[in-house]
Structure 1
Amino acid sequence: MTTSSEHSRNRRWLLRHGALALPLVLALRSARAAEPVGAVEDVTGEAFGEFESARRALDRAAPVFLSEEVVTGLASRLAMRLGRDTTVKLGEQARLKIDRFLVNAGGEMTLRSGPMLFDGRPHHSAVQIRSPFALIAVRGTRFFAGPSNDRFGVFVARGSVAVSAAGQQVILREGEGTDFVAPGTPPTPVKRWGPERVRAALASVS
């Protein structure tokens, strides 16, 4: 038979440990309720998925959810597949939020920081990627966006993208890039990137 003192101790234990477990329970409920849009293909170092106040470690084959912010740590890399034919690679200290993504029908993402390599097949609707520097619209291509030569750069390895900022737009095609000195400034004139700069940009996400 349980004594009153034992009952009291059990109640205190449940209250204390239940309070500690509550954030984990809520995080699991949020993750289950969210819509999966892809999965992690490879991770080097540390990577996390953040949604509201919950954070989870991302390992290989971990699901990626809509409205979740994918974050990489120092000296880290992450590759993930979205839908059937879109791959996104992130370099160190990157933050990418997947705002909307429909298989074969485009989507919207927000690149808050760090380098990114986008590789996708053409779709009827464009994928839009927002950053503090520019809006990038793409219908299927392979391009880099992120820190490069002490600036924020966008470079197209295949296909074409439209890059807009400060009321101006440039169209980049294969081998071409543009830069931004700071947020709120227009894109620089289109020019071809040299081999060394291209190699450095791609190395930052691989």
Structure 2
Amino acid sequence: MPSIQSGCRASLSMVSAAVLAACASESPRTAADSQAAHVAAVAAAGGTVDSILPIAEQLRRFRESLPAPDSLRHGAMSRDGLIRQFLEAVAAKDSATLNQLVLDRAEFAYLYYPTAAISKPPYEAPPQLLWGQILTASNEGISRLLTRVNGQRLALDSVTCGQPVTVEDRNTLYEKCEIRVRIGTAAPSTERWFGTIVERDGRFKFIGYTNAL
């Protein structure tokens, strides 16, 4: 398997090959496997990565000018509370609250990425590449969701997340969460409207708003 860190500059197609090779033996199941599959898709679009640099140096550069947060700022105090705030913001088209409920760049750089499986072998996805993938998928997902809901009232019936949860140092990840929700006067449906939820020190935020709508 080619290393992401070999060579002077590696095309993203090489990054894609490395990521796919790491996951080739099984279907994506963990947060790292799911993210690796997304990174591979982004990598296939083209571009370059300074792969000669170790991950630690890439992270140092990614953190430049970013403040170091000590907690998930504006995070909810429970998983279901986070989801309720999210649904209220979606119904109200409240972009300010939606931005507060998802990881920002500094939280990603200091609190999530350093202990994430995706940052370690066999994945070693560069922070700038992974952050770009998360940001793009999240923006596209929330845009589709806001268009679909279109300001209608939302009523939450239940929340179900995949088991077991993934623990990465101080972070607990709730993956593949499905909500049973009613949009306006329509019959309730069970769908995935957001990506992984991260819990750190009793605070909860979304890693992103990726969805399949």
TM-score interval (norm. to shorter): under 0.3
> Which fold has the larger relative contact order, with Cα–Cα distance below 8 Å and residues 6 or more apart in sequence?
2
Q: Which one has the largest radius of gyration?
A: 1
User: Which one has a larger percent helix, Structure 1 or Structure 2?
Assistant: 2
- How high is the TM-score relative to the length of structure 2? 0.25
